């Protein structure tokens, strides 16, 4: 059935998952009409350099026709438009990684893409990116620098540039990106979106062109944590074809979303280790964010950022650049001029580091990791600015290497430490640009972080992306969120080393446990140290 959008519907169109599904159910909208509207609106943004391949009506026809055979209630993404970063495969559509000479046409879609399509989602385009996912700014592409959704003169963030901007401008409900050093978080911050960087291996990497295969993960951009949780629930899953895929061993999958530990203690970087690179507006926004969270009961505990920063520097100054070389060989050897100049400058030396450098770096990371994880065990999560400064495109192009490195000050360490994280928008700066923070937790703490992010979005409600208003009611915890004490959880009483702040509390937290209440034992109760143990245990 053909259908066009009325002016009233188009002007008020809310691209959130629940809003679109309601319009579909009430017959106010059809997926076909929405996709046509998106293609028409996309033409208005050609100068933003968002996409590499915008799908035609004919290319979308099969997926749209398949919706007739899918029940909406059992397909959570029925008719929901999404964008795919162009280093992730979509069957029958070229994958370029922003390099025409490298392009190939896959016969099957990436595992995650196929799962999303099976759930009813409809691809809209293959999005622009920093070539070979090498960069955090969005300017390193022969298809043009991607422009910010709020201010055309500012960088979009990268490397998942088009993925973020397309959602922020209302051309999709969610998008897929990738993340090695921050590519799923920096663009989220700069475009007022939630950016989910899952634990490595939680989402299959089959059909994703790697930058650093041992570190990469697929990411999700969405307007809010509710939508992000829905998408993650569909996209996650063990894939035997992916050598880095891992099954989530803990009881913290979709039903754990919404559970929240009270009170929350978050680790923050001391003022002496914060860097805003001359951006007073970001510094002020960060301090205001902390003040608002404290007013809601968040407790702040300073951590030493030095070991995290030292690990971060190893990502580009250490041997992991060799993985980027492996991913682009033999193109970079046989046809180096086909590679974007600054990308070639970064990747080409990757063929030279000796194996000794890799082992030395791994030894150093493991030494530093002990300190980092010990600090993280004392808090519910870490909280950092997502970025220290938002550069204009002109500023970025004036010193690409330096300013790109500055963008990674708060992001580069996470995958080297095998951590989960989520970028959350918190407020607009004095010059009307978005600012956000990143929450960081141990491997497979993804739903805990998303639940905390959900709470933050309730405290600090913002509009959706660059276009749509979102008030506190729309940001509220979803109706299907599990409540503490429901039949989906069990109550456990612990004492000794498993108490909050004690050495073994992390074993509970990483399994999705949340603190329900604290109490005291009878005065006659005593704790005894068992011979030969490192922790006190009750007997």
At 463 the pLDDT is: 83
Write down which residue in 436, 459, 482 finishes a domain: 459
Quick one: 412 and 507 in the same domain? no
- 345, two tokens: 């400058």
If asked whether residues 232 and 167 sit together in one domain, one would say yes
Q: Are residues 235 and 105 in the same domain?
A: yes
Domain boundary residue among 439, 459, 479?
459
Q: Are residues 98 and 47 in the same domain?
A: yes
Beta-ladder partners of 423: 195, 438
How high is the pLDDT of residue 358? 83
Burial of 502 (0-12, 13-18, 19+ CB in 10 A): middle
User: Does residue 280 sit in the same domain as residue 325?
Assistant: yes
Token digits for 254? 């979709």
What range defines the domain where residue 515 resides?
490-539
CATH number for the domain that contains residue 183 = 3.90.1300.10
Average pLDDT for residues 170-186, to the nearest whole number?
A: 98
Task: Reply yes or no on whether 159 is catalytic.
Answer: yes
Q: How far is CA 8 from CA 5, 11, 19, 43, in A?
A: 8, 5, 15, 20
Looking at the fold, whether 494 and 445 belong to one and the same domain comes out as: no
405 and 521 assigned to the same domain: no
Residue of 85, 126, 197, 464 marked catalytic: 85
Does the annotation count 183 as an active-site position? Answer: yes
96's tokens: 């370029």
Classify residue 478: in a domain, yes or no: no
Domain match, 494 and 449 both: no
- pLDDT tens figures, 19-72: 999 999 999 999 999 999 999 999 999 999 999 999 999 999 999 999 999 999
Residues 6+ apart with CB under 8 A from 47: 147, 152
3-class state of residue 203 by DSSP: strand
Kindly state whether residue 485 falls inside one of the protein's structural domains.
no
112-131 tens-digit pLDDT: 999 999 999 999 999 999 99
Catalytic residue chosen out of the listed positions 183, 204, 322, 451: 183
Residue 494 domain-assigned? yes
Catalytic residue, chosen from 159, 160, 245, 451, is 159
**477 in a structural domain:** no
φ/ψ (deg, to 5) at 372: -60, -50
Whether 468 is in a domain gets the answer no
Backbone angles phi, psi at 311, to 5 degrees: -65, -40
Q: Are residues 155 and 303 in the same domain?
A: yes
Per-residue pLDDT tens over the stretch 201-218:
999 999 999 989 999 999
444 shares a domain with 513: no
Residue 372 belongs to some domain of the structure: yes
The DSSP secondary-structure symbol of 360 reads H
Task: State the total domains in the chain.
Answer: 2
Model-level pTM?
A: 0.85
Residues 446 and 497 in one domain: no
What pLDDT, on a 0 to 100 scale, did the predictor assign at position 178? 98
Last residue of a domain, one of 459, 481, 510: 459
């Amino acid at each position: 059935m053909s259908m066009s959008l009325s002016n009233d519907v188009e002007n008020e169109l809310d691209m959130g998952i629940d809003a679109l599904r309601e319009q579909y159910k009430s017959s106010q909208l059809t997926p076909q009409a929405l996709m046509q509207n998106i293609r028409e609106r996309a033409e208005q943004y050609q100068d933003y350099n968002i996409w590499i391949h915008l799908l035609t009506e004919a290319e979308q026809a099969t997926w749209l026709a398949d919706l007739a055979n899918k029940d909406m209630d059992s397909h959570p993404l029925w008719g929901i438009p999404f964008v795919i970063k162009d280093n992730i495969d979509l069957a029958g559509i070229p994958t370029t990684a922003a390099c025409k000479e490298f392009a190939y046409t896959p016969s099957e879609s990436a595992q995650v893409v196929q799962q999303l399509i099976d759930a009813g989602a409809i691809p809209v385009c293959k999005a622009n990116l920093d070539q070979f996912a090498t960069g955090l700014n969005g300017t390193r592409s022969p298809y043009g620098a991607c422009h910010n959704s709020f201010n055309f003169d500012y960088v979009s963030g990268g490397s998942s540039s088009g993925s973020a901007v397309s959602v922020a401008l209302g051309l999709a409900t969610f998008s897929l990106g990738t993340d090695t050093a921050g590519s799923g978080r920096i663009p989220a911050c700069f475009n007022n979106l939630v950016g989910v960087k899952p634990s490595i291996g939680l989402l299959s990497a089959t059909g994703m062109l790697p930058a650093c295969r041992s570190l990469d993960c697929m990411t999700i951009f969405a307007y809010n944590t509710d939508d992000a949780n829905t998408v993650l629930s569909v996209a996650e899953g063990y894939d035997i074809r992916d050598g880095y895929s891992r099954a989530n061993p803990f009881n913290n999958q979709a039903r754990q979303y919404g559970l929240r530990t009270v009170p929350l203690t978050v680790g923050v970087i001391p003022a002496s280790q914060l860097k805003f690179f001359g951006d007073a507006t970001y510094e002020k926004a960060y301090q205001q964010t902390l003040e608002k969270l404290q007013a809601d009961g968040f407790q702040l505990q300073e951590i030493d950022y030095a070991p995290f920063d030292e690990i971060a520097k190893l990502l580009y100054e250490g041997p992991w650049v060799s993985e980027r070389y492996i991913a682009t060989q033999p193109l970079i050897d046989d046809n180096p001029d086909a590679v974007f100049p600054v990308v070639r400058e970064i990747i080409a030396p990757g063929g030279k580091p000796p194996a000794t450098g890799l082992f030395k770096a791994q030894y150093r990371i493991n030494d530093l990791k002990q300190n980092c994880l010990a600090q993280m065990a004392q808090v519910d999560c870490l909280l950092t600015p997502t970025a220290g400064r938002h550069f204009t495109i002109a500023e970025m192009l004036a010193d690409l290497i330096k300013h790109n490195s500055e963008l990674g000050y708060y992001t580069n360490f996470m995958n080297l430490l095998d951590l989960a994280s989520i970028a959350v928008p918190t407020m607009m700066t004095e010059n009307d640009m978005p600012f956000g923070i990143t929450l960081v937790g141990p491997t497979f703490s993804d739903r805990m972080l998303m639940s905390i992010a959900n709470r933050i979005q309730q405290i600090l409600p913002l509009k959706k992306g660059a276009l749509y208003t979102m008030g506190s009611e729309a940001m509220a915890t979803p109706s299907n969120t599990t409540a503490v004490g429901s039949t989906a959880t069990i109550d456990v009483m612990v004492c000794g080393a498993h108490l909050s702040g004690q050495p073994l509390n992390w074993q509970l937290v990483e399994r999705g446990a949340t603190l329900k209440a604290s109490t005291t034992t009878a005065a006659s109760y005593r704790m005894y140290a068992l011979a030969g143990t490192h922790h006190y245990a009750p007997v």
